[in-house]
Amino acid sequence: MTAESTPALVQSADTDGPAQAGPSAARGPRARNTKAYLQYVAGKIAGAVVSLFAVLVTSFFLFRLIPSDPVKQMTGGRRVSAQQLESLRHQFGLDLPMWQQFTNYIGDALTGDFGTSYQFHAPVIDKISEALPATLLLTGTAYVLYTALGIWLGTRTAWRNGSRSDRFNTAFALTLYSVPSFWLGLLLIIVFSVGLGPIPGLFPTGGLESGGETGFAYVVDVAHHLVLPVITLVAVGYAQTLLVMRSSLLDEMGSDYLTTARAKGLRDDVVRRKHAVPNAMLPTFTLMFVNLGHVVAGQILVETVFSWPGLGGLFYSALSVPDLPLVQGLFFVFATAVILANTLADVLYPLLDPRVGR
């Protein structure tokens, strides 16, 4: 009988009889790991549910601290009798005691009903649904571009640490990261929309479309409007990703496993691509999911500067009244997107790093 054909039997040191080592024996540790992972996931989901309820409560009280009367703002400064004001307050439920407003709000919100917008006289959920595609188009496009650019440049600068390109890219990223996004947006409008000196106005000052275009011309028109706001978001977003990726890769570059890989004769680009970068991606992976939550949450200041008809611009418009149902609904949607993205990152992280969630 050859060694390959011998049964998979091993003698136990603690027992008199043979113990079979096979798939049934291997299921023990795997089952324990699966159970630990499921407990870890359940804990993260429970934490997310608690956070969402806390956001729901906070969104009710936070915006009622604004020193403004929504009813008077809705009248636009026109002469309105006290009886008419009282009628409007009764119509929107603002004459109810605070505790009753709160219980009504929580009960309706748990069923997906965030009320009716004061200024648009439409269900809040409908206004959010109308503005969501524009936000996803803008922030989603920017997210893909600045994530890819940040990871690529972060890897190159770290691998060439101390070089001229590393110093330039790092300094440039730090500068952009410290620049307020709305200020950068205004600067781009002045230079490339209005025109400055010999530079003509090349792009629209704001909005999603010019109007009247159809088919392929409409796609080109929307892309033309996207250029400046996307550049604004990419400029700030890529800098953050680059700095995190660079720092993570620098921490890995002195590791023994990279020295071993080089000693085996692997080329430098193979060592970087297959060994260093996958381990350095873990902190960047977390950042990617945090930024993914902001894709739905939008960029309030950038959308406002460029008059983009998304959730950010809608939030600014609602806050100026204040349109309490719309502000509360948007705040809850923004927070929910971030919480869910972070929870998804927590759930997936143990699959990349087995040390987490044990």
In angstroms, the CA 19 to CA 238 distance is 57
> What pLDDT shows up at residue 71?
65
> What pLDDT shows up at residue 145?
94
Model pLDDT for residues 328-356, shown as the tens digit of each residue:
889 888 988 889 988 988 888 777 766 66
pLDDT class for 72, splitting at 50, 70, 90? Answer: low
Least confident of 172-176, 316-320, 342-346: 316-320
Cβ-contact 55, 110 below 8 angstroms: no
In angstroms, the CA 188 to CA 195 distance is 9
Model pLDDT for residues 112-149, shown as the tens digit of each residue:
788 888 888 888 899 999 999 999 999 999 999 999 99
Model pLDDT for residues 265-302, shown as the tens digit of each residue:
878 778 887 878 888 888 888 888 888 888 877 688 88
In angstroms, the CA 291 to CA 156 distance is 22
Phi, psi of 334 (to 5 degrees): -60, -50
Entry field: residues in the chain: 358
> What pLDDT shows up at residue 1?
44
Going along the chain from its start, the domains and CATH numbers come out as 123-323 (1.10.3720.10)
In angstroms, the CA 69 to CA 317 distance is 15
Phi, psi of 283 (to 5 degrees): -65, -35
The candidate with the shortest Cα–Cα distance to 334, out of 135, 162, 39, 38, is 135
* 116: alpha, beta or left? (left if phi > 0; alpha if psi -120 to 50): beta
